[in-house]
Amino acid sequence: MRSPVDRLRAAGMRVTPARLAVLQELPVGVHRSVDEIATAVRRTLGAVSLQAVYNVLDALAGAGLVRRIEPLGHPARYESRVSDNHHHLVCRVCGAIADVDCAVGVVPCLSPADAAGYLVDEAEVTYWGLCPQCQNHRRPSADHGGTTAGPTEKHHVPARGEGGDR
């Protein structure tokens, strides 16, 4: 991937220390929240307000240099891997995010059964589950029985359409 300076120039954006610092804190494959980015940027730039970081991210997202991911129930994350239509694995418990290069196979249904006349050029898939770390935490252990029931339990899958089926 090109350097942050090159990416900013290619997008027609002025190169500023804040923009550079934010891009540098988002290497490919990394998905960070605004808080995490702000903390990292402050290490290089000193005092930077959260609002300033938001503004930089908004500008970068508007120019297509970063992508915002909003997993339900977890803070939004930003990444610099853009325009390749990759997908995400999201951990239900800790919100960890991993990239998935390509969704393959019939399930989960990348092609709409009926595109209703739309010209489709992108499919955004979010795979929800448990990251390896959280799976380890949930292994039954001698004195750790008090955790809330989680999606690892086979009989705890989300309820089927309530009332909708005949």
Contact flags string 126-165 toward Zn ion, x per CB under 5 A: -----x--x-------------------------------
Annotated ligand binding at 94? The verdict is yes
Annotated ligand binding at 134? The verdict is yes
Q: Are 41 and 21 in contact (CB under 8 A)?
A: yes
**Whose Cβ is closer to Zn ion: residue 48's or residue 130's?**
130
- Record the tokens describing residue 16, joined without a space: 């500023």
Contact flags string 25-44 toward Zn ion, x per CB under 5 A: --------------------
Applying CB under 5 A, what is the total number of residues that bind Zn ion? 8
Using rule CB under 5 A, residue 79 touches Zn ion: yes
Using rule CB under 5 A, residue 99 touches Zn ion: yes
Could you give the strand order of the β-sheet that contains 77-79, starting from the edge strand earlier in sequence? 32-33, 77-79, 67-69
Q: Which of 10, 50, 76, 94 binds Zn ion (CB under 5 A)?
A: 94
Contacts of 53 (CB under 8 A, 6+ apart): 18, 22, 34, 37, 38, 41
**Minimum distance between the CB of residue 126 and Zn ion, rounded to whole angstroms?**
11
Q: Is the dihedral of CA 127, 109, 86, 55 positive or negative?
A: negative
Catalog residues that contact Zn ion under the rule CB under 5 A. 79, 91, 93-94, 96, 99, 131, 134
Annotated binding site: 91, 94, 131, 134
